[in-house]
Amino acid sequence: MSLAPLFTGRFVELAGADFASAQLGQEFVRAEVGAGEVRDLLTWSALNHILSTHQLVAPQLRLFRDGTQVPVARYTRSDGTQGGGDRQVLLPDALYRELRGGASMVLDSIDQLHPPIAAAADDLMRLVHELVQVNLYLVWGENQGFNTHWDDHDTVIVQLAGSKHWTVHGPGRPYPMKVDTDHDHSPPDTVVWQGTLNPGDIIHVPRGWWHAVRGTGEMSMHLTFGFTRRNGIDWARWVVEQLYDEELFRQDLPRFAAPEQRREHEDELVRTLTKALTAHRPADFLTSRDRRFPRRPEINLPWPVHFEKPADRAMVEVTALLELAVEPADPAGGEAVVATVAGKSFRFAAVMAPMLRLLARERSVSVARLRAEAGELGPERFGAALELLLQQHLVVLRD
């Protein structure tokens, strides 16, 4: 199924073109994209298929009621597997009973289980340049699955079906972290936003902003897209990693040397560290990280193993989640180009540059168009070039 970009498309249109630069992580944002824009992300049929065909138990699938986790034994049982240890499986009737009783169901990493949600997560990654995980929340009734709380990561919430009431406060401690010196802070008395989310509503709740969520009496199903943005501590850790190239920093500290020798060593460490901080700026860190951003781990058999000519209407899509960088192998000119993705560089003959640059620019192109704009590549060499890109997992084919 091919879905229009949700976040880089309609959401940004409504939230504003400056969402990533001015609002992300700084402000509460709400956009009403419409139920039709999110309907195909997850249908009841698809959810039932996921729950029926995957071994989903805690910690990936959990139930909560009034802020407390429901004991797993209340809705699972051992399947009696021999040899490999017992596996827990869902009991349909018990699951129904708990949900009727007001329990909230949480299914972590549903983006790894359902392609339409995976595509939406990929789209959000291209907007925020961070890895994204998607969790599903499902509840009936008016119960509150979790107490008022804050998250140590930014979130984007998409209401799929039904409705849910939200109360959003501002932050307690500015920019709190999972590993932090202070987790003992309280929500402010002010309320930034309070209201009901309906199908097609999307909100952004920054990291550290307190919020409470409760049912409205009917069913509610929403997705939470979570991601952790890079900060100054991440940059500092990256700079430290560059110091492995410095012999001085690999040396043991002269703990037992004379005081004067120890001071000289300390001064030299500080001078070298200062030079490293100046030479490796935060912008360099972000650029380096983007170039190492993972590829989509999507298996695309049979073409990479046994290549056959695909239909002209088939789509060729790059696996790079952010961008496929295509540059001359030699800036002074030469007969080769280099494609870089996920920190790995691939060298290709210059004759492949037109198709590589088209893929980098468009991300998804039909076989017919890619062949037509492949420059000097003839039909035979075009097929060989496409096979090579498939084998290196730089592209996938969608027939």
Phi, psi (deg, nearest 5) at residue 34? 100, 145
Q: What is the dihedral of CA 65, 68, 74, 80, to 10 degrees?
A: 130
Q: Are 9 and 127 in contact (CB under 8 A)?
A: no
Number of alpha carbons in the 13 Å side-chain half-sphere of residue 57: 17
Contact 81, 87 (CB under 8 A): yes
Residue 82 has pLDDT above 60, yes or no: no
Residues constituting the chain: 399
Residue 83: pLDDT band with limits 50, 70, 90: low
For the record, the structure tokens of 230 come out as: 């890079």
> Residue 1 — very low, low, confident or very high, per pLDDT cuts 50/70/90?
very low
Percentage of the chain lying above the pLDDT 90 cut: 81
Q: How wide is the angle at C-alpha 213 spanned by C-alphas 211 and 217, nearest 5°?
A: 160
Residue 290 pLDDT: 94
Pairwise pLDDT comparison (332 vs 193), residue with the higher score: 193
Tell me the pTM. 0.91
- The CA-based diameter of the chain, rounded to the nearest angstrom, is 76
Lowest-pLDDT range of 65-74, 257-266, 281-290: 65-74
Per-residue pLDDT reduced to its tens digit, 328-386: 988 766 679 999 999 999 999 999 999 999 999 999 999 999 999 998 898 889 999 99
CB atoms within 10 A of CB 181: 7
Q: Token pair for residue 113?
A: 């289980």
pLDDT per residue over 221-237, tens digit each? Answer: 999 999 999 999 999 99
Side-chain half-sphere of 22: how many Cα atoms within 13 Å? 6
Ramachandran angles phi, psi of 132, nearest 5°: -125, 135
Average pLDDT (254-265) is 97
The predicted structure's pLDDT at residue 206:
97
Residue 369 near residue 334 (C-beta atoms within 8 A): no
121-155 tens-digit pLDDT:
999 999 999 999 999 999 998 876 677 899 999 99
Who wins on pLDDT, 54 or 179? 54
